[in-house]
Amino acid sequence: MKKRIHTDNAPAAIGPYSQAVEAGGFIYVSGQIPVDPATGELAGNTIEAQAKQSLSNVRAILESADCTMNDVVKTTVLLADIADFAGMNGVYADFFSEPFPARAAFAVKDLPKGAKVEIEVIALKS
């Protein structure tokens, strides 16, 4: 059985998908680009500003599912430019603590709305 997770504190889904789904004790958060839910616009032009907004969106969705960033077990980070890895990684470290989630990070050709980063996570609901 799966349950849709939704919050107004993160950008609404812009297609046939959910912000997140709860299933089997896990929360699967869809990829979050750095859209500010208050304005609908990208949050800044730097990788740091955009990574912070993407992770803030993730956190808001997790909170609506009664989870925290400490419940995250796996992340996937998509970058429009792999040269932004260090900048993203610095912000990422502010959102997670030991034991850090498993992670994959790689560059892609393009991201929606011209974003520099998109981040999806899987959390274990405690």
With 90 as the cut, is the pLDDT of residue 13 above it?
A: no
**Domain CATH number, residue 20:** 3.30.1330.40
- Domain extent, residue 22, equals 2-124
- Check residue 108 and give its pLDDT: 97
C-alpha distance from residue 87 to each of 20, 37, 47, 62, 80 (Å): 26, 23, 6, 23, 13
The Cα 67–Cα 58 span in angstroms is 11
pLDDT in tens, 48-101: 999 999 999 999 999 999 999 999 999 999 999 999 999 999 999 999 999 999
Q: What is residue 31's three-state secondary structure?
A: strand
With CA atoms as reference, report the closest residue to 33 among 88, 83, 86, 70.
Answer: 88
Question: Tokens in use for 22?
Answer: 């709860």
Domain total for the chain? 1
pTM of the predicted protein model = 0.96
The Cα 92–Cα 17 span in angstroms is 25
With 90 as the cut, is the pLDDT of residue 126 above it?
A: no
Element spanning 119, H or E? strand 117-124
Question: Sorting pLDDT into bands at 50, 70 and 90, what band is 34?
Answer: very high
* Stretch 42-47: mean pLDDT: 96
The percentage of residues in the chain with a pLDDT greater than 70, rounded to a whole number, is 100
With 90 as the cut, is the pLDDT of residue 5 above it?
A: yes
- Check residue 79 and give its pLDDT: 98
